[in-house]
Each structure stands twice: as C-alpha cells, then as structure tokens.
C-alpha cells in the first residue's frame, strides 16, 4: 500500500528510538528475573503434564515442592529437580508425571552429577523443541496447500459458550459461513488463576477455559472444517494473565496460530503486578516466536477507559512499545499483530475521517505487521440497525487501509452473546463491503492539507511528546502514575508479585537458552 499521509520518516524513526530507550531498563530487569509461571512453562516444554486428584497440575506441584523445601532454590530454576528425578528413578517422562500426580516429591532425592543432569535436560530440550518445530512445519504445509484461499483481511470470529464441545459446533458453523480465524474466548477471570486447568472443560462463564486439551480438540475440529472449506483456519486463544508463558507453551505444542499477548494489558486491565507481567511476556513471546504464532496486542482496550479522540496517541505509543518488546523477545514484524480499534463516539463530526486516519497511520508506520483491527463496542447501544451501520463503516475502513486481522463486529453487541445468525450477518456484511471496495486503497489519495493528513500528523506529534515524557519518567513509574489508559497501578501492588523470582548465579533454564540462540537474541 502506497503511503498517503506524508508522515515524516525521521519522526517515526525518533519514536522507535524512544521505544528502544524506554524498553531498555525494563529489559534489564526482565533478564535478571524469572517467575513461577516461567518455571512451569519450562516444565511443560520438557513434558511435565497431568494433574493430581485435586486438579493441581503437575508443573504447579513441582514448583510448589521446590518452594516448600527451600524458597531460595527457585533462584536456580526448577527444571534441574525434575530432570534429577527422571535420572534417579530411571523413569520415562510419562511415568514421572504420574508419580508426581500421585504424591511423589522430587525434592526427596539428592541432586546427582551436574553434567549428567545437563545432558538429560538437553535431550528434553531437543524433544520439546522438535515437537513445536514439527507443528510449525504442519502449519506451513497446510498454508501452502490452501495458498491465497483466505480473505484479506482475515475475518476473525469469536466463540464463547463455556463448553469446548459446543464451541466446536459454533466454530465449524462459522467456518462454513466464511470465517478465517476462530478465537475461543477464555472464561471470565481465568487470567487471574495462577495455574492452567487440566483436560477438556464443559463449564465456563463468558468463555471456555484455556487448557491444552481444549486447544487440541479445537485444533482438530478446525483442521477438519478447513479441509472441507478448502482453506486454512487460524486458531486463536489467550497467552495472557498470570500463566502467560504456560499457555503459550501449550499453544505452541497444539499448533495455535494466534495468541492475545500484550506487554501491559495484564497490568492495566487485570491488576497483575507490572514486574511479573513484563517478565512473563518476554518468555511467552520467545515461545510464540519460535512456534511461528502471531500475537495480538491489546491497544483497543485503552479506548475502553480513555477517549479515542483525545487519547489516540496512547494507542500509537503502546504499539511502538509492544513492537520493541516483541523485537527484544525475538519476534519478527510478521508475527506482531499490533492492535487498534474503531472506537470513537459515533456522534463526532468527521469521526469517520479520524478513524480512517488512525487506521491508515498504523498501516503506514507498521507496514510489515499483520495489524489487528477491533470493531466498535464501547458506543454500541442495543440499537441493532445503528450497530450494523457502525460495523459497515468499520468494515470499510479496515479494507481501505489494508488491515491484516479483522475482528468482526456484531450488530447485537450490548444486547446478548451473538447467535450463529448474528455471526453470519457479520461475515456477510464484511464480505459485501470488502468485495465492493476491493481496489479502493490503490485508487485514492489524500489531500496534503486535508483533515486525515492533519489528524495523523497531530497524533504522531502527540505520541512522540508522550513517549519523551515516559522516557524521562521511566516506564514503571509512568504506569504507576496512570499515564496509560488513565489507570494507576502501584509498582509493588497487583496480583502475582509473590511469584516473581530473582535469578541466582546458578540459574538453569536450557529452554530459555535454546530459544535465545534460535531466535538470534544477544547477538
């Protein structure tokens, strides 16, 4: 897409430089810390799976056993104790998992020879990473098979029944209706659970539990539906909350294609401790990068608490920061689905032009990114006819600005959980609009002194000024002061702080080392 907004390249480069400077001290903190969920994700990558009779997952049991023996031992990482139990008992991974679920304590065994432990750990790394690489190759094969069969942008639909088997029915129906991406919304408040439930689930409120077995069930169903429809169907879930890295690991193992994964969302909108969140997002993004999973960031959420016209610059600033933290985790631009939304109050004069300018600006500043565009929700009133009109304008802007991932708006937003017919109407509307303006983007130019160009330049200038203030303040303090989304979060507050771990001099995590090498980090 040809640039139309005449944005100054030097100003964009300066904003990226500011993002680099803002992220640097945060990254220093990240690199010197782990967390209980990073350690559990490492165990999951090594094959730790299952749960005890009370439903406590094996990775949680292992971490809890190490902490109960001596909390200071967490500083060394927990994988060594799991590997030690494997070698001492001569067990397979599956047998050891069963024994731990039945009550065996890995800390009951003295540590064996370090060289032997590291050798065994290297074998687990090779097996675990090989499994994820195989899934990545499967995805590539299916995408090659169905090349150029998906829409542009990809049409993204949500299922959220609470029952994975009902989700499958709705997902298959959505695929038949034309959806390219199926997102399984996570049950309310799962982001605040410091464990990942085990097995398939049939009860959830406002969504379905994110579990590895649920991922497997939906992946199989979408492959079947995609083969029947003759195109690849992308599966989305949430690598966010207190178990960000663990859910990323499960998603990588079961071939998810997209995961919601933001550097600050959990801090601002779920009151999760900022230090814990930044540490967790780094390892989760390393896993996603290796697995070839596109992340969806959450800038749309800023507009639920802030005005979309006045605080548009916070969205762009967050996009720059999410991009930088993504790069620091080894993610290429093609996997960074930066978010934004069509959320201005519909009564604003020329609001459509401002929305168009914001979307076009994001496309021009992040040309290689599969941008995720979110529909109007904040000002949906229950008037389904007005809602359909708003979604039609949203569909127009998305296609006209070359968005990559398009979350379909529902005319019944603010009325009830959408029915399958509501989803059909959403797909039908989008396909109608997008087909009718298929080449619109290449056939239009913007006036250099027009409303949209001026709006984009103004937002970029405000963004740079805002980021300069953040650099002076420091990102941790900026969040504490409520500079993002008008939400204040204390540095020592929030959920999950007790799960933060300072890495000791003997810290051992061969999966992190492998990923860093594979992703070219530290070079």
Q: Mind listing the pLDDT tens digit for each residue in 238-262?
A: 999 999 999 999 999 999 999 999 9
CATH of the domain at 231: 3.20.20.440
Is the domain of 200 the same as that of 342?
yes
Closest CA to 179 of 405, 368, 3, 22: 405
Q: What is the pTM of this model?
A: 0.96
**How far, in Å, CA of 472 to CA of 478, rounded?**
9
Residue 332 lies in a domain: yes
Is the domain of 417 the same as that of 348?
yes
Last residue of a domain, one of 112, 127, 142: 127
Q: Where are the beta strands (DSSP E) in 334-438?
A: 336-337, 339-341, 372-374, 405-407
**How far, in Å, CA of 469 to CA of 379, rounded?**
31
Q: What is the mean pLDDT of residues 405-416?
A: 94
Q: How many CB atoms lie within 10 A of CB 319?
A: 25
> Model confidence over 477-513: pLDDT tens digits?
999 999 998 899 999 999 999 999 999 999 999 999 9
Q: Which residues are catalytic?
A: 265, 300, 372
> Model confidence over 304-313: pLDDT tens digits?
889 999 999 9
Residue 210 near residue 237, CB atoms below 8 Å: yes
Is the domain of 255 the same as that of 194?
yes
Boundaries of domain holding 273? 153-453
> Model confidence over 22-52: pLDDT tens digits?
999 999 999 999 999 999 999 999 999 999 9
Is the domain of 242 the same as that of 173?
yes
Residue 376 near residue 333, CB atoms below 8 Å: no
Is the domain of 225 the same as that of 369?
yes
Residue 513 lies in a domain: no
Residue 3 lies in a domain: no
Is the domain of 115 the same as that of 160?
no
Residue 358 lies in a domain: yes
Is the domain of 123 the same as that of 233?
no
Query: Inter-axis angle of helices 114-145 and 274-291, to 10 degrees?
Result: 60
Is the domain of 166 the same as that of 114?
no
Q: How many domains does the chain have?
A: 2
Closest CA to 174 of 504, 420, 343, 486: 420
Last residue of a domain, one of 127, 143, 178: 127
- The dihedral built from the CA positions of residue 383, 388, 390 and 394, taken in this order, carries a sign that is positive
**How far, in Å, CA of 379 to CA of 342, rounded?**
10
Residue 61 lies in a domain: yes
Is the domain of 59 the same as that of 194?
no
Is the domain of 176 the same as that of 82?
no
Is the domain of 306 the same as that of 171?
yes
Mean pLDDT of the chain: 96
Residue 464 lies in a domain: no
Is the domain of 201 the same as that of 109?
no
Q: What is the pLDDT of residue 419?
A: 86
Residue 511 lies in a domain: no
- Pair of tokens at residue 226: 């995609």
Last residue of a domain, one of 437, 453, 469: 453
Q: Residue 103 — left, alpha, or beta (φ > 0 → left; ψ -120 to 50 → alpha)? A: left
């Amino acid at each position: 897409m040809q640039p139309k907004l005449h944005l100054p390249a030097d100003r964009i480069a300066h904003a990226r430089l500011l993002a680099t400077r803002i992220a640097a001290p945060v990254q220093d903190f990240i690199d010197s810390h782990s967390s209980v969920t990073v350690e559990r994700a490492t165990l999951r990558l090594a094959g730790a799976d299952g749960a005890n009779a009370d439903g406590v997952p094996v990775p949680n049991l292992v971490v809890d056993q190490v902490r109960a023996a001596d909390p200071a031992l967490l500083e060394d990482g927990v994988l060594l104790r799991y590997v030690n139990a494997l070698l001492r008992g001569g067990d397979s991974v599956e047998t050891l998992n069963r024994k731990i679920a039945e009550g065996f304590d890995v800390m009951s065994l003295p540590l064996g020879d370090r060289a032997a432990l590291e050798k065994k750990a290297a074998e687990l790394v090779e097996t675990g990473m090989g499994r994820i690489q195989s899934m990545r190759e499967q995805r590539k094969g299916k995408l090659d098979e169905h090349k150029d069969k998906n829409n542009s942008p990809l049409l993204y639909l949500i299922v959220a029944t609470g029952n994975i088997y009902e989700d499958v029915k709705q997902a298959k129906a959505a695929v038949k209706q034309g959806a390219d991406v199926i997102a399984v919304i996570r049950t309310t408040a799962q982001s605040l659970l410091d464990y990942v439930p085990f097995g398939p689930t049939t009860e959830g409120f406002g969504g379905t539990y994110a579990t590895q077995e649920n991922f497997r069930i939906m992946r199989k169903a979408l492959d079947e539906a995609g083969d029947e429809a003759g195109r690849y169907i992308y599966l989305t879930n949430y690598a966010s909350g207190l178990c960000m890295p663990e859910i990323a690991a499960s998603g990588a193992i079961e071939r998810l294609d997209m995961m919601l994964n933001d550097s600050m969302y959990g801090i601002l909108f779920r009151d999760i401790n900022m230090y814990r969140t930044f540490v967790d997002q780094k390892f989760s993004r390393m896993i996603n990068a290796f697995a070839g999973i596109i992340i969806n960031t959450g800038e749309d959420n800023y507009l639920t608490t802030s005005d979309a016209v006045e605080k548009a610059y916070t969205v762009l600033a967050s996009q720059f920061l999410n991009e930088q933290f993504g790069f620091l985790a080894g993610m290429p631009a093609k996997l960074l689905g930066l978010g934004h939304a069509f959320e201005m109050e519909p009564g604003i004069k020329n609001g459509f032009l401002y929305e168009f300018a914001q979307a076009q600006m994001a496309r021009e500043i992040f040309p290689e990114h599969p941008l995720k565009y979110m529909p109007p929700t904040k000002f949906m009133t229950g008037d389904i006819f007005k809602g359909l009109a708003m979604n039609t304008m949203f569909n127009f802007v998305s296609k006209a600005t070359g968005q990559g991932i398009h979350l379909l708006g529902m005319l019944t937003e603010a009325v009830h959980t959408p029915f399958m017919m509501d989803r059909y109407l959403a797909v039908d509307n989008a396909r109608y609009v997008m087909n009718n303006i298929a080449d619109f983007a290449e056939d239009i130019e913007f006036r250099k002194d027009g409303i949209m160009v001026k709006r984009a330049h103004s937002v970029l200038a405000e963004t740079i000024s805002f980021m300069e203030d953040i650099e002076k303040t420091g990102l941790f303090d900026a969040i504490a002061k409520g500079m993002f989304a008008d939400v204040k979060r204390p540095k020592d507050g929030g959920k999950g702080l007790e799960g933060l771990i300072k890495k000791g001099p003997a810290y051992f995590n061969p999966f992190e080392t492998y990923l860093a090498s594979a992703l070219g980090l530290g070079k």
